[in-house]
Amino acid sequence: MAETRLTEQVAVVTGASHGIGAAIARRLAEMGAHVVLAARSQPPLQALAEDLSRAGLQATACVTDVRLPEHISALIHSTVQRHGRLDILVNNAGVGAFDRPLHETTLETWDAIMETNLRAVYLAIAAVAPHMIERRSGHIVNISSLAGHNPVANGAAYAASKWGLNGLTYSVAEELRGFGIRVSVVCPGSVNTDLVPGQRKDRTKMLQPEDVAHVVAMLVTQGPQSFASEVLLRPTARP
C-alpha cells in the first residue's frame, strides 16, 4: 500500500491503551498524525504517549471512560479546541463476555457491553459529526467483529452489540457521505488480545493487532472518489 502521509491531521482513538487500539494509534502516529489516545486507565495510556513521543511522534493521552457521555463530549470538544480540527475518529473501545448463555447474563453485564460497544459510538459520532460536516471531510472508523455477522454461543450480548454497530455504521455512512465524510467498519476475526475467549493453541496463527491497524491505515488514505464501507478480516490459517 502506498501510504499517504497524515501530516497535520488529528486522530482520536478510543481504547488506545493496549491491544488493537494501541496498534492503531501507533500506526497513525507513524504516518504523521497527532493522535489523541483515549482509554480509562491512565498508567498504560501515559506510557504509550511517552513511548510515541520518544520516537519523535505526536501523541496526547486523554483519560476517558466511553460509558460516560460527559467524558466523550469532553474528549471530542477538547481535541477540536486544542488542535482546531479532528480528521479521524476510530471507535475501538470494546468489552465482551463469553462465559454463559444469554439467560444467565446479568443486566449489569448486558448494560456494560452495550454502553461500551454501541452507545459510546453513537455519542462519539454525535459529538464529532458537526465539526466534520463543517469541514466537509473526515474519517470515522468503527472496529466491530465477525461476531457482528455470525452467531456466538455464550456471547450473545457481545454479538448483539456488534450486529448493532454494523447496522449503525451502514446507516451513518449514508447520512454523512454527502458531506465528504467516510464512515467504515472493520470486522476482524479472533485477534491476539486479552478479549479472546477461551484458550487458543497457537496465538501466532491469529490475527495480530497490527493487522487491524494496517486496515485502518488503508481506510484513511483512500482517494477522495471512493471509500470501503466494510472490511472483513480473517486469519490465513485457522488458530
Active site positions, annotated: 158
Question: What mean pLDDT, rounded, does the chain reach?
Answer: 94
Strand partners, 186: 143, 231
Q: pLDDT for 51-73, tens place per residue?
A: 999 999 999 999 999 999 999 99
Q: Is the sign of the CA dihedral 74, 79, 85, 89 positive or negative?
A: negative
What is the residue whose three cell numbers read 472483513?
A: 232
**What is the rounded distance in angstroms from the CA atom of residue 76 to the CA atom of residue 12?**
8
Question: Which CATH number applies to 10-233: 3.30.420.40, 3.40.50.720, 3.30.450.40, 3.90.1150.10?
Answer: 3.40.50.720
Q: What is the pTM of this model?
A: 0.94
The whole-number pLDDT of residue 134 equals 97
Q: pLDDT for 158-192, tens place per residue?
A: 999 999 999 999 999 999 999 999 999 999 999 99
Each residue's pLDDT tens digit in the chain (239 positions)? 445 689 999 999 999 999 999 999 999 999 999 999 999 999 999 999 999 999 999 999 999 999 999 999 999 999 999 999 999 999 999 999 999 999 999 999 999 999 999 999 999 999 999 999 999 999 999 999 999 999 999 999 999 999 999 999 999 999 999 999 999 999 999 999 877 665 566 777 889 999 999 999 999 999 888 889 999 999 998 76
**What is the rounded distance in angstroms from the CA atom of residue 225 to the CA atom of residue 230?**
16
Residue 8, Cβ neighbours under 10 Å: how many?
A: 11
Q: Domain map of the chain by residue range?
A: 10-233
Q: Is the sign of the CA dihedral 141, 196, 212, 73 positive or negative?
A: positive
